[in-house]
Amino acid sequence: MTRVAVLGAKGRMGSESVRALHATDGLEVVAEIDVDDSLDLLAESGAEVALDFTQPGVALDNVAWCIRHGIDVVVGTSGFDETKIAEVRALLGDEPATGVLVVPNFSIGAVLMMRFAAAAAPYFESVEVIEMHHPNKVDAPSGTATRTAEMIAAARDAAGSPALPDATTTDPTGARGAKVAGIPVHAVRARGFTASQEVLFGGAGEIFSIRHDSIDRSSFMPGVVAAVRAVTGRPGVTVGLDAILGEDSGSTQS
């Protein structure tokens, strides 16, 4: 029986995860920690794995605390970027004993969408990412969009693809979106969305699009359960749900 603590347990993803973990054989939720609760509850509960769905501003501190106390951790907090991942690697050192699994998106469909986008990227002259989320999301672009852009850029670099064509010279209000690893990324925040993303590819005479929609947070729960089960026994940092699904493209471990 794996003893699990959920950080951000009263939030949208945290509360859904608590219910899913309670319903899963072999997993026991021993602590539900939220704002103003002490992390000492983690140690007192005997948690072996922490699942973090807190805010971007505190997630790194939570991970550092878990590393110091030998608790494996799954990071589901959006906005956990390469800078934070590098800090975690430094905290773990050269011979890590603790596992940290950083998951930009827990949806298996979203993982496949990212893999397919990376596979298609070298074959098209143009590519842009549009991500759509509810207006309560605090960060932009989403972790999924950032990871998708990074995977696309890496695939294009490996294939020797040229720079994306774009004659824009005037854009005072940022209508062309952000650039992540050189890939244009556009963020939509509108009521009615849960989590959606579309990757648009363009070539001479054709448009190709890949889209994924999560219409309910229950779609993330199989990935949450898989991540919690898999993080123990994986010392170091692992990025991406696909690594624990036996699909190593686009994920890293160190």
Q: pLDDT tens track of the chain, all 254 residues?
A: 999 999 999 998 999 999 999 999 999 999 999 988 999 999 999 999 999 999 888 999 999 999 999 999 999 987 788 899 999 999 999 999 999 999 988 999 999 999 999 999 999 999 999 999 999 998 899 989 998 999 999 999 999 999 999 999 999 999 999 999 999 999 999 999 999 999 999 999 999 999 999 999 899 999 999 999 999 989 999 998 888 876 443 444 55
**Domain range spanning residue 86?**
2-102+218-253
In a 13 Å sphere around the CA of 178, the CA atoms on its Cβ side amount to 15
**Placement of tokens 């990757």 in the chain:** 199
Q: Provide the CATH number for the domain around residue 55.
A: 3.40.50.720
Kindly state whether residues 113 and 238 are assigned to the same domain: no
Kindly state whether residues 68 and 152 are assigned to the same domain: no
In a 13 Å sphere around the CA of 12, the CA atoms on its Cβ side amount to 12
Comparing C-alpha atoms, which of 136, 147, 141 is closest to residue 107? Answer: 147
Total domain count for the chain? 2
Kindly state whether residues 178 and 226 are assigned to the same domain: no
Report how far residue 33's alpha carbon sits from residue 73's, in angstroms, rounded to the nearest whole number: 14
Kindly state whether residues 121 and 89 are assigned to the same domain: no
Terminal CA-to-CA distance of the chain, rounded, Å?
Answer: 27
Kindly state whether residues 43 and 89 are assigned to the same domain: yes
Report how far residue 20's alpha carbon sits from residue 221's, in angstroms, rounded to the nearest whole number: 6
Catalytic residue positions?
Answer: 133, 137
Kindly state whether residues 7 and 47 are assigned to the same domain: yes
Kindly state whether residues 130 and 38 are assigned to the same domain: no
pTM, rounded to two decimals: 0.79
Q: Provide the CATH number for the domain around residue 130.
A: 3.30.360.10
Kindly state whether residues 117 and 211 are assigned to the same domain: yes
Kindly state whether residues 136 and 69 are assigned to the same domain: no
Tokens linked to 60: 């790194």
